[in-house]
Amino acid sequence: MAFAKAVKAYIDAVHITPKALSDTANIPLSTLSRYLSGERTPAANSDVPARLATAIATLSAGQLDEAQVAAELQHALSGSAADPKTFTLHFRTLVDELGISGNRLAHALGFDPSYISRIRSGARHPANMAQFSDRVARYVAHNCTSDAHIATLARLAGVGAQEIASVNAREQTVCAYLGSNAEPEAEPPAAAVPLARFLAALDAFDLNAFLEEIHFADIKVPTVPFQLPTTKSYTGIEEMKQAELDFLRAAVLARSTEDVIFYSDMPLEEMAQDKEFPKQVMKGVALLVRKGVTIRNIHDVYRPIDELFMGLEGWLPVYMVGGMESYYLPAPTNTAFLHFLRSAGTVALTGEAIAGDQGSGRYTLMKSAADVAYCRTRALQLLALAKPLIRVYQESQRNELEAALRHLHSTYGSNTISVGEGEFDTLQIRALPGRYVLLSKTNPPATDFLIEHPALVEALEHYEPTLF
């Protein structure tokens, strides 16, 4: 809104009407009105600030210096931010008027189509508005190239079609139209609160107190047989949760101590609404860890980053206990078709759903040797494609951590920075910008989390304290 405020201030100072300014600057009054309301912002490479400056200086009868007015308007334009409501309006208008498929855009950007739909409706805002705008701009610049597309984009941005003939010009124009030069004014980025909560939870977490609270040392792995048919089907989200608990019970009661492999790209929002379900899952996971089973969790990092941090926070106790290894796939799966897979030594659980209709998904628990072996093969194939997401180093693994850091520093340099210094009691954060973040828990037992995934590194290295 900085640009709108600057133009309004000059209109008031010179005692002119918007109509007089639009006529003198040769800018349609309807376009100027949108500038003044903040509904529209000129493109970053537009000559609008210069034209307005010339008109304002002329209408001031020499009282104002044209060059100074132009500089101030250009500065205001570079700092203009689209607030959430304006961003939503511009994004929806851009998608609708250019006829952009939400599914195709989601696939190109690596998001769930339902996430794009929620942004379009205003139900939520991107975790990083600037980054999201840049990616949308790149998609538009390369895919909306017809004369009709360019004419529509020029009309929306208030520029001439000839000014956006090149790909770079279209990218800059879309970025400016979406307001990516600054962060939202009304609220912090959507990922800021989950990230702050994740770091606060990690800072406050005391492993010894947690183990004592849940009586981890006293947990007895049950031996009473858990009767389930060889195959059982479940439909919908509520039954999906029951399927997960049935899988955990079967895995705990089985004699096998093979690793358990988890993968899911299902949205987390609806699952997170049930406050009791995560506790029940953690109880089952604690029993597996107590039994000596290692859990290999393949995270879906192509979900909205706020959901990713929410998921990581939920698994925090298991990471600290040392019973989990975390991975991610280096490329997104088909975002239209959602997948769910749990594999243990003697039981497997698979599921599928269509994006946007998770409630109609179907899940199958299998105990026959052939089905379990088939799912195990698929799980191991996924694991072979995956990369480590978070490497957890216990105090006894200090030498391994130092070796990993030496390798990173010899490859990328050692100019690390401190993040959130003085804010946490038991947590230290150091980052090699663009390469890794090291989260170090200093209270016993000391534990270090080495993160190299680009999106997580970017979010963590730019972390700023957030009230929530």
- For residue 349, the domain's CATH number is 3.30.870.10
Burial 168-178 (b: 16+ CB within 10 A, else e): ebbbbbbbbbb
Whether the predicted pLDDT of 109 surpasses 90 = no
3 state SS of 296: strand
Q: Which domain holds residue 309?
A: 192-461
| Number of domains making up the chain | 3
Q: What percent of the chain has pLDDT over 70?
A: 85
- Residue 85: per-residue pLDDT: 73
- pLDDT tens-place string over residues 212-234: 766 666 666 665 555 666 899 99
Same domain? 232 vs 201: yes
- pLDDT tens-place string over residues 311-350: 888 888 888 878 889 999 988 787 789 999 999 999 999 9
Residue 38's pLDDT band, with cuts at 50, 70 and 90, is: low
* Domain termination site, one of 178, 213, 235: 178
Same domain? 157 vs 200: no
Residue 187 lies in a domain: no
Residue 306 lies in a domain: yes
* Domain termination site, one of 36, 51, 78: 78
Which of 191-200, 271-280, 452-461 is the least confident region? 191-200
- Residue 127: per-residue pLDDT: 59
Which of 255-264, 322-331, 405-414 is the least confident region? 322-331
Residue 206 lies in a domain: yes
- Residue 78: per-residue pLDDT: 61
Same domain? 399 vs 259: yes
- Residue 468: per-residue pLDDT: 37
- Residue 451: per-residue pLDDT: 93
Same domain? 337 vs 414: yes
Residue-averaged pLDDT of the chain: 82
Task: Give the mean pLDDT of 262-286.
Answer: 81
Q: Residue 225 carries which DSSP code?
A: -
- Torsion of the alpha carbons at 358, 282, 454 and 411, rounded to the nearest 10: -150
Q: Residues 6 or more apart from 218 whose CB is under 8 A from it?
A: none
- Residue 201: per-residue pLDDT: 82
Q: Which of 182, 160, 105 is nearest to 136 (CA)?
A: 105
Q: State the amino acid at position 417 in one-letter form.
A: I
* Domain termination site, one of 28, 49, 78: 78
Same domain? 166 vs 225: no
Whether the predicted pLDDT of 110 surpasses 60 = yes
Same domain? 448 vs 318: yes
Q: Residues 6 or more apart from 277 whose CB is under 8 A from it?
A: 241, 271
- Residue 83: per-residue pLDDT: 64
- Residue 67: per-residue pLDDT: 86
Residue 183 lies in a domain: no
Whether the predicted pLDDT of 184 surpasses 50 = no
pTM of the model: 0.58
> Could you tell me the CATH number of the domain that includes residue 13?
1.10.260.40
Residue 466 lies in a domain: no
Full 3-state SS string of 10-69 = HHHHHCCCHHHHHHHHCCCHHHHHHHHHCCCCCCCCCCHHHHHHHHHHHHCCCCCCHHHH
Q: Provide DSSP, 146-172.
A: SHHHHHHHHHHHTS-GGGG-SHHHHHH
- Residue 327: per-residue pLDDT: 93
Same domain? 127 vs 235: no
Whether the predicted pLDDT of 357 surpasses 80 = yes
